[in-house]
Amino acid sequence: MCGLGGRRSPFVATPGNLVSSGMDPIPVFDAEAVFAAVPAEMAIERTRLAFERHARGEWVMPPKVYVEAPPEGDFRAMPARGDGFALLKWVTSFPHNPERGRPVVIGALLLSSAQTGELLAIMECGSVTSLRTGAAAAVSAQLLARDDARTVGVIGCGVNGRWAARCLAAAGYGPGICADVRPEAAVELADELGWRSGPREEAADQDVVVTVTPGERPVVLTSDLREGQHIAALGADAKGKGEVELDALGRCRLFCDEWEQASRGGELSGAVAAGRLSRQDVTDVGDVILGRKPGRLSAGDVTLFDSTGLAIQDLAIAIAVYEAWSRGEVEGPEVRL
Amino acid sequence: MCGLGGRRSPFVATPGNLVSSGMDPIPVFDAEAVFAAVPAEMAIERTRLAFERHARGEWVMPPKVYVEAPPEGDFRAMPARGDGFALLKWVTSFPHNPERGRPVVIGALLLSSAQTGELLAIMECGSVTSLRTGAAAAVSAQLLARDDARTVGVIGCGVNGRWAARCLAAAGYGPGICADVRPEAAVELADELGWRSGPREEAADQDVVVTVTPGERPVVLTSDLREGQHIAALGADAKGKGEVELDALGRCRLFCDEWEQASRGGELSGAVAAGRLSRQDVTDVGDVILGRKPGRLSAGDVTLFDSTGLAIQDLAIAIAVYEAWSRGEVEGPEVRL
């Protein structure tokens, strides 16, 4: 995954990095550079690898740390280490920012060499977040949806919903129904992918259903479920958020990105707090990827993947961006720190 | 403390920041710019304010998060919020890096607006760390040393030891004795300040003694202590590190930057783990600043301040840098994220 050709490598002691003192200029990548460096297919592949390496214990990640910033939301510090790199993502979740013309997710991502400690790159983090969030939906569908699953329902067509749809399309899923409380957002996404916009109920009736809403109220109801579906719930990423009705969860075969994080804040955490779910009811997708645990057991299962968003996923995307830069495929202004 | 004049302010909604979408170019400050923006006197004043605001509960700081990076050391993610700003410091402690021509402390610091979530600045973090670490030694001396304390002993003349000496000098202390296992480092610092280099024992015999070593073995022994001294132990910042003999600790009136952090990793943590110290034996300096708790009780007390290094101190320095930039006093290249 991480063979670094090209400009420089944190793995090999060259005269250049022996004398660098952390003072070499480092590249800064804006969202445009991140998206140019990592197409959807690569984001999916790297995200799957992140889940796998984490499940093997090769990539490590302490729990993310929240800094409350009332009344707007919170900041999150998300560190991870793997494949010779260390990463820190510093990111807001300010849900009402769009009302003031600003994104919900703002911040930066710092990529360092875990061997030398040197800072290697600074990246815009909304783009990395969108890629790894959207890619996780596609990874979960490839892993858990029925082999004959094709159609997609996207509930919530904001920035991360759009990337989930793009990644699912890149993985061969579609056509899809795009639903959003802002009809113009649904239409725009549908037009981009050659899909169709429609009501929430119709989106919830597709083979693969992705929810990417603020998680303030359920958007997948018990009455929506049909046999054989796969649901990727991406929106709930903190305590008190949820996109799927509690009773509906009880009818699903449940998967998550990481139990530790998902049980504390995410789609499943409400049911965990209510004593309706415990560890043995939920499988980490990394364990399914490794073949340690089963995924879908029958064609009739409704599988549900709770994505809370892991720093190891950000790490996977950040490494891919850095490698693309090392190969000379993308550029960014360089600064000296 | 944080009245922002000049170029832009995160506190006031102007057309500029209403439409900024986190996409305004932001300044990047290298170590030179940080040191130019914040002279030692200002670092001391801001560090004292950080302790005070934290003690009042106005500035908040979750525990720092460690990411182990064996065999070199670890990375730390240190978030904080206060006065309308949020901060994340991402920094290494790679103790053997100097053997390879690299600093122990490498990384970057991200300053955001806690009101809008916007990233405001990126800074080199070794410089911020040095300023706030050195300044903490001076704050502790002003607060806890005897009024007639003058002479300084510096044990460990690396980068943070130098800044401790500079801050103590700026606070009116001196002359001093500089000691280091590398005699040339001690001579260089002594020359800069018009002080003198000397053996460890002599440095440990001064009115104010600052230790800034890797913390791998005690450099202040029980036999060194004399009545009325003040000791600032700055070097031990993680589990298993210590610069002061356990028996010597028992003879001191003890203070720390924050019990929560200091009891888990720092000068006092060994004694805490051994059951020889507990919460009531140690006073946070913020409580002394606020007058909630007494400092030195008698002229004969040996006071000891355990500095483990707090993200709120970094925040105080980072705000000062940002304000200096807002006033047009320092410059940094601007990048778009």
CA distance A310 to A140: 14
pLDDT category at A172 given cuts 50, 70, 90 is very high
Tell me the two tokens of residue B168.
């103590």
Tell me the two tokens of residue A182.
């802002």
pLDDT category at A21 given cuts 50, 70, 90 is very low
CA distance B266 to A325: 40
Strand order from edge to edge, sheet including B253-256: B196-197, B176-179, B152-155, B208-211, B230-233, B303-306, B253-256, B282-284
Find out whether B255 and B296 touch, Cβ atoms under 8 Å: no
Q: Which of A90, A102, A119 sits opposite B116 (nearest CB)?
A: A102
Are residues B102 and A118, on separate chains, in Cβ contact within 8 Å? yes
Interface membership of A337 toward B (CB under 8 Å): yes
Amino acid letter at B33?
A
Across-strand partners of B334?
Answer: B27
Q: Is A89 one of the catalytic residues?
A: yes
Of B64, B89, B239, B241, the active-site residue reads B89
Report CA torsion sign: B48, B54, B60, B66.
Answer: positive
Q: Which helix (H) or strand (E) holds B205?
A: none
Are residues B92 and A112, on separate chains, in Cβ contact within 8 Å? yes
Interface membership of B70 toward A (CB under 8 Å): no
Tell me the two tokens of residue B173.
């202390």
Q: Which of A63, A94, A124 sits opposite B337 (nearest CB)?
A: A124
Half-sphere exposure at residue B254, Cβ-oriented, CA atoms within 13 angstroms: 26
CA distance A321 to B6: 36
Residues 6+ away with beta carbon under 8 Å from B70: none
Tell me what pLDDT residue B1 has.
38
Are residues B106 and A122, on separate chains, in Cβ contact within 8 Å? no
Q: Which of B20, B97, B115 sits opposite A72 (nearest CB)?
A: B115
Q: Which of B31, B65, B117 sits opposite A79 (nearest CB)?
A: B65
Residue keyed to tokens 């139990």: A259
CA nearest neighbour of B301 among B253, B268, B233:
B253
Q: Give percent of chain A with pLDDT exceeding 70.
A: 93
Contacts of B7-15 spanning 24+ positions with Cβ under 8 A? B7/B325, B7/B326, B7/B327, B7/B328, B8/B326, B9/B326, B10/B84, B10/B85, B10/B113, B10/B114, B10/B115, B10/B116, B10/B118, B10/B120, B11/B84, B11/B115
- The residue with greater pLDDT, A250 or A12, is A250
From residue B181, how far is each of A308, B112, B208, B209, B219 by CA, in Å? Answer: 49, 40, 20, 16, 11
**Per-chain mean pLDDT for chain A:** 91
Are residues A86 and B69, on separate chains, in Cβ contact within 8 Å? yes
Strand order from edge to edge, sheet including A176-179: A196-197, A176-179, A152-155, A208-211, A230-233, A303-306, A253-256, A282-284
Query: In degrees, to the nearest 5, what angle opens at C-alpha B70 toward C-alphas B69 and B76?
Result: 30
Tell me the two tokens of residue A181.
């409380």
Find out whether A266 and A308 touch, Cβ atoms under 8 Å: yes
Interface membership of B116 toward A (CB under 8 Å): yes
Q: Which helix (H) or strand (E) holds A20?
A: none
Find out whether B85 and B318 touch, Cβ atoms under 8 Å: yes
CA nearest neighbour of A309 among A42, A39, A91:
A91
Tell me what pLDDT residue B6 has.
40
Instruction: Round to the nearest angstrom and report the end-to-end CA distance of chain A.
Output: 28
Map residue B191 onto helix, strand or coil.
Answer: helix
Find out whether A109 and A126 touch, Cβ atoms under 8 Å: no
Residues making up chain B, counted from first to last = 337
Find out whether B128 and B34 touch, Cβ atoms under 8 Å: yes
How far is the alpha carbon of B173 from chain A, nearest alpha carbon, in Å?
32
- Write out the E strands in A240-321: 253-256, 282-284, 303-306
Residues 6+ away with beta carbon under 8 Å from B245: B218, B220, B221, B222
Interface of A with B in 234-253 (CB under 8 A): none
Find, in chain B, the residue whose alpha carbon is nearest to that of A64: B65
Interface membership of B181 toward A (CB under 8 Å): no
Tell me the two tokens of residue B316.
């105080």
pLDDT tens per residue, range A96-150: 898 898 998 999 999 999 999 999 999 999 999 999 999 999 999 999 999 999 9
Are residues B108 and A110, on separate chains, in Cβ contact within 8 Å? yes
Residue keyed to tokens 């850095």: A322
Interface of B with A in 13-42 (CB under 8 A): 18-22, 28, 30-31
Contact list in A for residue B124 (CB cut-off 8 A) is 337
Contact list in B for residue A115 (CB cut-off 8 A) is 69, 72
pLDDT category at A10 given cuts 50, 70, 90 is very low
Contact list in B for residue A66 (CB cut-off 8 A) is 62
Q: Where are the alpha helices (DSSP H) in chain B?
A: 15-18, 31-37, 40-55, 125-144, 159-170, 183-193, 200-203, 246-250, 259-262, 269-273, 285-289, 311-326
Interface membership of A290 toward B (CB under 8 Å): no
Amino acid letter at B125?
C
Cis peptide before A183 (omega within 30 of 0): no
How far is the alpha carbon of B227 from chain A, nearest alpha carbon, in Å?
42
Phi (first) and psi of residue A215, to 5 degrees: 80, 20
CA distance A177 to A153: 5
Tell me what pLDDT residue A241 has.
78
From residue A318, how far is each of A29, A35, A121, B37, B284 by CA, in Å? Answer: 10, 11, 9, 32, 40
Tell me what pLDDT residue B23 has.
67
Contact list in A for residue B122 (CB cut-off 8 A) is 108, 122, 335, 337
Contact list in A for residue B115 (CB cut-off 8 A) is 69, 72
For chain B, 337 residues long, give each residue's pLDDT as a single digit of tens. Answer: 333 334 443 333 333 323 334 468 999 999 999 999 999 999 999 999 999 999 999 999 999 999 999 999 999 999 999 999 999 999 999 988 988 989 989 999 999 999 999 999 999 999 999 999 999 999 999 999 999 999 999 999 999 999 999 999 999 999 999 999 999 999 999 999 999 999 999 999 999 999 999 888 899 999 999 999 999 999 877 777 789 999 999 999 999 999 999 998 888 998 999 999 999 999 999 999 999 999 999 999 999 999 999 999 999 999 999 999 999 999 999 999 9
Averaged pLDDT for residues A86-98: 93
For the CA atoms of A326, A327, A330, A331, the dihedral, rounded to the nearest 10 degrees, stands at 50
CA nearest neighbour of B304 among B289, B285, B278, B279:
B285
Half-sphere exposure at residue A28, Cβ-oriented, CA atoms within 13 angstroms: 19
pLDDT category at A239 given cuts 50, 70, 90 is confident
Residue keyed to tokens 């000891």: B304
Residues making up chain A, counted from first to last = 337
Contact list in A for residue B69 (CB cut-off 8 A) is 81, 86, 114-115, 117
Interface membership of B110 toward A (CB under 8 Å): yes
Contact list in B for residue A30 (CB cut-off 8 A) is 336-337
Averaged pLDDT for residues A200-227: 95
Amino acid letter at B79?
P
CA nearest neighbour of B204 among B182, B183, B233, B184:
B233
Interface residue of A67, A87, A120 to substitute, partner B, most B CBs within 10 Å: A67
Q: Which helix (H) or strand (E) holds A311?
A: helix A311-326
pTM here is 0.90
